[in-house]
Chains A and B, each alone.
Chain A
Amino acid sequence: MTFLTAFVDQVPVDSALVQAVKEDDNWIMHHISDKPIFSLPPIHIGDTVIDLSISAKILMLIISAVLMVIIFAYAAASNMKRKHPKGLGNFIEMMMVFVRDDVVIPSMGKDGVRFLPFFFTLFFFILFVNFLGLVPGMSTGTSSISVTAGLAIITFIMTQVYGIKHNGFFGYFKGLIPPGVPVFVLPVMIIIEFLGLLTKPFALAIRLFANMTAGHIVIYALIGLIFMLGYAVIPVSVAFSLFIYVLELLVAVLQAYIFTMLSALFIGMAIHQDH
């Protein structure tokens, strides 16, 4: 990383941030990665170390959750009071109808109605965490692979539990292999289908994480250009940062939508294996 510092040395700008850039190769990563806030002693289970300390990202998740409880409980109270919802309650109901009619029911049919609370929570939780991450000075919970992996694991567990519940234990795993497969291909198919089970949540986690991280890295890189090339690039940097920021607003909604839709699709496929 010395060449980066060497390059910064040529820039005739001197500030704390330039100093930071000079001293630290990975300043972007430090902005994106997690920071401990409240430390707890780590738990050792065999080789793995589980550190349950409250970090910045966990704090963001908790803030999102608290905000959601306040906003949705308020909306629920407001909607129950009057016959025609208005204001916030109306807006939230519109979003709920969108999730129900355009995300869950097309993906898994009428069975989805049973799972609506789960999908609402999933969709709005991802949406809130994504949006809060766009507020300056806050950290993006979903730009950590651990958080997205946690969400993907929840979907994975739901998929397996309801697949087994609906089709029976043996029926579910038998149904994973498409009918009419010749016997000699079976060993290969079993491996492929088993891997398929695991790749689905893996793809979910990576997709959300990468989408929410990429925008931030690009914005930081664009801002960093100012301190590397001088103040002349400020208009370009700011314009591009703004563009990426607006794009991130779109991505924040889009990724929440995609995550929810794919989760609904996977659970629906596990319940109805025949198609």
Chain B
Amino acid sequence: MALANIFLMKFYSVLMFISSDPHEKKDTLLSVEPGLLIWTIIIFFILLLILKKFAWGPLLKSLNDREQGIKDSVEKAEYLKQEAEKILAENKALLAKADEDARKVIAESKELAEKLRQEMMSKTGDDTSRMIAQAKGEIEREKIAALNSLKDEIANLAVQAAGKLIDENLDNDKQRKLIDNFINKIPQN
């Protein structure tokens, strides 16, 4: 209770002070003193003028310059990024095109090689068959020639045998032997 009383008394004392005699202007809390008010306004405007010249101007300028600089840098970075992305896309497209070209070239050369191989193959085959045919013809000719010469030989031998028969008067046995010999001498084909 004592504490509450003291607070009440204090409150009352403050109230008394606020609403004290208007003639004692110096001591009241809520009375406006023109002198103090005028001083406040004067000090404020002098401060405003001085600070505007020496502080706010330079401070705001440096602040704005830096903010503008940051903004410009960000914009430039953005622009550069877009440029880089564009260039990257171009490079990718170029690379893809080059890749495709290379693939096409490889495919073409493969095709060409295949064609060439086939051509070569067919050409070689032709050559071979022609050579074989040639060889066959040669053999046939040789064979015919050999047979012809054999026939001549046989004819000669027959003529000689006939001459011998005529010359030596051969008996029957001898004749047979001779013919057998002759036949044995004949090659099989």
Instruction: List residues of chain A with CB under 8 Å of any chain B CB.
Output: 1, 3-4, 7, 25-26, 28-29, 32-34, 42, 48-53, 55, 57-58, 61-62, 65, 68-69, 72-73, 75-77, 79-80, 83-85, 89, 92-93, 96-97, 116-118, 120-122, 125, 141, 144-147, 149-151, 153-154, 213, 217, 221, 224-225, 228-229
Do the beta carbons of B54 and A72 come within 8 Å of each other? yes
12 A-B residue pairs with Cβ-Cβ distance under 8 Å, sorted by A, are A1-B13, A50-B35, A52-B38, A57-B36, A68-B55, A69-B51, A76-B62, A77-B58, A97-B63, A145-B31, A146-B35, A150-B38
Asked if B47 CB lies within 8 Å of chain A CBs, one says yes
Collect the chain A residues with CB atoms within 8 Å of residue B58's CB. 76-77, 79-80
Of A7, A32, A85, A96, which contacts B9 at CB under 8 A? A7
Taking each of B5, B32, B44, which has the highest tally of chain A beta carbons within 10 Å of its own beta carbon? B44
Do the beta carbons of A61 and B59 come within 8 Å of each other? no
Do the beta carbons of B35 and A51 come within 8 Å of each other? yes
Instruction: State the CA gap A18–B3 with chains docked (Å).
Output: 18
Instruction: List residues of chain B with CB under 8 Å of any chain A CB.
Output: 2-3, 5-7, 9-10, 13-14, 16-17, 26-27, 29-41, 43-48, 50-52, 54-63, 66
Instruction: State the CA gap A68–B55 with chains docked (Å).
Output: 9
Collect the chain B residues with CB atoms within 8 Å of residue A96's CB. 59-60, 63
Do the beta carbons of B62 and A80 come within 8 Å of each other? yes
Collect the chain B residues with CB atoms within 8 Å of residue A146's CB. 32-37, 40
| CB closest residue in chain A, given B3 | A229
Instruction: State the CA gap A96–B58 with chains docked (Å).
Output: 12
The answer to whether A121 and B48 touch (CB under 8 A), given A32-B29, A150-B41, is yes
Of A34, A58, A97, A145, which contacts B26 at CB under 8 A? A34
Instruction: State the CA gap A150–B39 with chains docked (Å).
Output: 8
Distance from A139 Cβ to chain B, minimum over Cβ atoms (Å) = 12
Do the beta carbons of A69 and B55 come within 8 Å of each other? yes
Distance from A67 Cβ to chain B, minimum over Cβ atoms (Å) = 11
Of B35, B47, B60, B62, which contacts A69 at CB under 8 A? B47
Do the beta carbons of B40 and A61 come within 8 Å of each other? yes
State the 9 A-B residue pairs at the shortest beta-carbon distance, nearest first: A150-B40, A72-B55, A146-B36, A76-B58, A51-B35, A117-B56, A150-B37, A73-B54, A79-B62
Of B13, B34, B37, B51, which contacts A147 at CB under 8 A? B37
Collect the chain B residues with CB atoms within 8 Å of residue A34's CB. 26, 33, 36
Do the beta carbons of B32 and A149 come within 8 Å of each other? yes
